[in-house]
Copies of this chain bind each other. A is one copy, B any other.
């Protein structure tokens, strides 16, 4: 994501240094003119990103060489202003606050596609509320469901993930300011006032105490991203399965150049759905890293904090990419009700066998009903006939049901239970 590029991170760090100086000026600790000098120096294009990164490896983090360079730059403008830089702060104050600012900037890249996906799925859920398709458990056809219910399930899952992610972001939108050991000692009695002004300048909240080695807020965002990737991966996984050549029930819209194969001209690969599923394979390891990084020592970590640096941006990028992939996939989905019905019928009606079993349970002991239907299903499967035919001709069945009753029992449309009600509830819950 652009917001996590080396250049963008640099600017975020510089912005935070400016906000800190401005806060110090707000409470009268440093002259306002110094802030102007610092602000005019704090432009990322004035700095050599690669040189800073090389120095960072030596220094332990990038803020140390950055403050040195920035001090020189400010001094070149006005030597007396250079001393007011990085006032009372420690490197981690700047890095952590910049990360919070960057995360805030990334929020829309996550929220927009998630909202788009929810809207598109609501339309699908409505349009296909009565489109029967095979339910599938263990990847075997089970009793029927509707494509609308499947879409409503995806919607509910994504909407809930989005809500959780947004809440996690909100809880994390606080500044970091503690100074060397987290006491703000270098700010003397002004610690509280500077922190308030710093937060105001950045439109962030004030935590009760510095959180240098208390990383649960970041871990919560990481987890919410991991859950979101899992949710998007579930949708992607289902789409890939529905798009299989042998099923053909749903496909990403054909776009020139998309999903082509370098050797097979006829291929239309489900690249968006796969992208989302890929994210769900990658996210768990990245989340695990953020959790494993939590036990950070004393007042500043010797490893855990550093392990976050690449992990958090990567996880955010993975999540955002997955959200966009699913948004695009479901916004341009080619749905084939015909193939759904055809596949449902292909089992010879075995998928609706449960309806028959249930009707029989009103008349026979449960085990006998199950055994009877199992026998009929096996016969139909073996002989390549429909369950309706086999059942209608069966002497035992004829004791209880007419051929017409059997036919009606085995219509998918008559065996959809609460599917419609579930869809309505989900659409109402999320007001879509």
How distant is the Cα of A83 from the Cα of B302 in the complex, in angstroms? 44
A274 contacts which chain B residues (CB < 8 A)? Answer: 60, 138, 302-303, 306
How distant is the Cα of A415 from the Cα of B304 in the complex, in angstroms? 27
Q: Please determine whether A366 and B71 come into contact, CB atoms closer than 8 angstroms.
A: yes
Residue A26 at the chain B interface, CB threshold 8 Å: no
How distant is the Cα of A260 from the Cα of B381 in the complex, in angstroms? 16
Most buried by B among A68, A299, A300, A351: A299
Q: Please determine whether B156 and A257 come into contact, CB atoms closer than 8 angstroms.
A: no
In the complex, how many angstroms separate the beta carbon of A290 from the nearest chain B beta carbon? 8
A245 contacts which chain B residues (CB < 8 A)? Answer: 134, 136, 139-141, 346-347, 351
As a 0/1 sequence over residues 389 to 419 of chain A, the CB contacts with chain B under 8 angstroms (1 = contact) are 0000000000000000000000000011111
Q: Please determine whether A236 and B295 come into contact, CB atoms closer than 8 angstroms.
A: yes
Q: Please determine whether B182 and A135 come into contact, CB atoms closer than 8 angstroms.
A: yes
How distant is the Cα of A284 from the Cα of B275 in the complex, in angstroms? 21
How distant is the Cα of A382 from the Cα of B229 in the complex, in angstroms? 35
Q: Please determine whether B278 and A418 come into contact, CB atoms closer than 8 angstroms.
A: no
Q: Please determine whether B83 and A181 come into contact, CB atoms closer than 8 angstroms.
A: no
Using CB atoms, name the residue of chain B closest to A228: B216
Q: Please determine whether A307 and B292 come into contact, CB atoms closer than 8 angstroms.
A: no
Q: Please determine whether B294 and A280 come into contact, CB atoms closer than 8 angstroms.
A: yes
| With known contacts A144-B181, A263-B354, A416-B183, A230–B246 Cβ distance under 8 A | no
Q: Please determine whether B227 and A294 come into contact, CB atoms closer than 8 angstroms.
A: yes
Residue A202 at the chain B interface, CB threshold 8 Å: no
How distant is the Cα of A429 from the Cα of B174 in the complex, in angstroms? 16
Most buried by B among A186, A223, A280, A285: A285
How distant is the Cα of A226 from the Cα of B82 in the complex, in angstroms? 44
| With known contacts A142-B299, A292-B292, A216–B160 Cβ distance under 8 A | yes
Q: Size of chain A's interface in residues, with CB distance under 8 A?
A: 167
Q: Please determine whether A182 and B353 come into contact, CB atoms closer than 8 angstroms.
A: no
Q: Please determine whether B354 and A180 come into contact, CB atoms closer than 8 angstroms.
A: yes
Residue A7 at the chain B interface, CB threshold 8 Å: no
How distant is the Cα of A229 from the Cα of B295 in the complex, in angstroms? 9
A181 contacts which chain B residues (CB < 8 A)? Answer: 135-137, 142-145
A243 contacts which chain B residues (CB < 8 A)? Answer: 139-140
Most buried by B among A149, A181, A191: A181
How distant is the Cα of A186 from the Cα of B153 in the complex, in angstroms? 19
Q: Is the interface of A mostly helix, strand, loop or mixed?
A: helix
Q: Please determine whether B419 and A183 come into contact, CB atoms closer than 8 angstroms.
A: yes
Residue A129 at the chain B interface, CB threshold 8 Å: no
| With known contacts A227-B216, A418-B192, A135–B299 Cβ distance under 8 A | yes
Q: In the complex, given contacts A60-B274, A183-B415, what are 4 additional A-B residue pairs having Cβ atoms less than 8 angstroms apart?
A: A137-B269, A145-B181, A152-B209, A183-B417
How distant is the Cα of A315 from the Cα of B244 in the complex, in angstroms? 33
| With known contacts A140-B243, A227-B216, A418-B192, A91–B261 Cβ distance under 8 A | yes
Residue A113 at the chain B interface, CB threshold 8 Å: no
Using CB atoms, name the residue of chain B closest to A298: B136
How distant is the Cα of A361 from the Cα of B227 in the complex, in angstroms? 47
Using CB atoms, name the residue of chain B closest to A65: B257
A347 contacts which chain B residues (CB < 8 A)? Answer: 245
| 8 Å CB interface, A123-161 against B | 134-146, 149-150, 152-153, 156-157, 160-161
Q: Please determine whether A180 and B285 come into contact, CB atoms closer than 8 angstroms.
A: no
Using CB atoms, name the residue of chain B closest to A258: B58
Residue A255 at the chain B interface, CB threshold 8 Å: yes
A211 contacts which chain B residues (CB < 8 A)? Answer: 153
Q: Which of A38-46, A104-112, A420-428 contacts B (4 or more CB under 8 A)?
A: A420-428
Using CB atoms, name the residue of chain B closest to A427: B208
A238 contacts which chain B residues (CB < 8 A)? Answer: 297-298
